Amino acid sequence: MSEIKSISTLILSVCCLFVHAQTRRWVSINTVNARPISMGGAFQSVEDSWAGMHWNPASFGNIPSGDNKQYAVRLNPLAPVIMAKNINGVDHGLSPVALTFPGFFIWLDRVCIGILTGEENLSDVSRLERNEIMNGSAYEWSRQLDIALRLRFAPRVSMGIAVQMNRQHPQLGGNRWGYRYGILIKPRAYFQAGLCYYNYENQISDTRLNLERLPDETLNIGFALLPWHTLIISGDIRNVSDDQREASLEPHMGIEIRPIQAFSLRGGVYYRQDIDAYTYSGGIGVQTAPMDWGVRFFSKVSWGADITYVMENTLHNQIEWGFLNVFVTL
């Protein structure tokens, strides 16, 4: 109970900070992006059970040590609050399923299959700029569906592929698709490297440019140093190759420090050469240790929250972003 109270206090205090700061864009319905964005988007080589599906599909599906189960289900405990707050939207496309069950993965020997159903689309800025936390209007047509496959060839080598569907209203042309494939290599216990190629339909070629900075038809590479189990230092180079445009080689750097078992501090920065500007990010994460509930299929349950703040410098102005991610893992 004390861990759950800590999460609640943390969420309330940081939300109050964002309110006073008049955050311009809120990402608070469903997101696994809070951790990667807080680390400056330097995430091509960082393993994450859920965010890996949305970034490098060779890096998702981690099972906590000591847990013998081969699957995990992700729940959004704020789903009832969001649906109550947007009660009219539930009848107009605010999907209760995508809100409540945003993710699942299962290992079948060396193969892991995963799905994310409700990741918020960061390109829909008109919705995010409503400056209201948990505003679910237009969410059904502003989310992404990711289906990922990871193949573990050896303990230190994995490859993955993911298909992405961008939900769009039929009046805007309907759903659009993209894909990505990547590799993750761990030559040493303290060093790992990853690369991932991204491709989307032309109509959504800029769908992941806001903050994520993942251009269409590009290969992006990254590294991660793990000198201790409490520290991750990561770096990415964006747009390493481009089929039709000149490569920009955009650098991203991130760090995560875990001073105690259930608490993480994160920071990141990236530099846009095209406008000569830096974007800075920071965040905190809390995740309880798995608790044994004695239920046959869901014996280990953990709670967690990620909160991220970003100051983005664009060509014309500065934009503040706030990410709120609360989850339960079964």
Tracing tokens 């909160």 back to the chain, one arrives at 307
pLDDT more than 90, % of the chain: 50
Mean of the pLDDT values across residues 77-98?
Answer: 72
Computed over its alpha carbons, how large is the radius of gyration of the chain? 19
Q: Is the pLDDT of residue 92 over 70?
A: no
For residues 181 and 210, the model is more confident at 181
Rounded CA separation 250/132 (Å): 32
pLDDT value at residue 91: 45
pLDDT value at residue 283: 97
Q: Domains along the chain?
A: 2-325 (2.40.160)
pLDDT more than 70, % of the chain: 84
Q: Classify the phi-psi angles of 36: left when phi > 0, otherwise alpha if psi is within -120 to 50, otherwise beta.
A: alpha
Q: Which of 33, 30, 46 is nearest to 220 (CA)?
A: 46
Residues 233-275 pLDDT 10s: 999 999 876 555 555 789 999 999 999 988 999 999 999 988 8
pLDDT value at residue 20: 45
Q: Are the C-beta atoms of residues 182 and 159 closer than 8 Å to each other?
A: yes
Rounded CA separation 232/264 (Å): 11
pLDDT value at residue 16: 53
The whole-model pTM stands at 0.89
pLDDT value at residue 118: 83
Residues 140-165 pLDDT 10s: 788 899 999 999 998 899 999 999 99
For residues 314 and 10, the model is more confident at 314
Residues 293-322 pLDDT 10s: 655 556 678 889 999 999 998 888 889 999
Q: E-assigned strands of 121-175? A: 143-154, 157-166
Rounded CA separation 245/217 (Å): 10
Q: Which of 152, 133, 190, 153 is nearest to 52 (CA)?
A: 152
Query: Residue 268 is encoded by which pair of tokens?
Result: 């990141």
Rounded CA separation 175/195 (Å): 27
Q: Which of 254, 286, 267, 281 is nearest to 25 (CA)?
A: 281
Output the CA torsion sign for 278, 201, 56, 249.
negative
Tracing tokens 């490297």 back to the chain, one arrives at 193
Tracing tokens 């991932």 back to the chain, one arrives at 196
Q: Is the pLDDT of residue 6 over 60?
A: no
Q: Which of 103, 104, 109, 84 is nearest to 94 (CA)?
A: 84
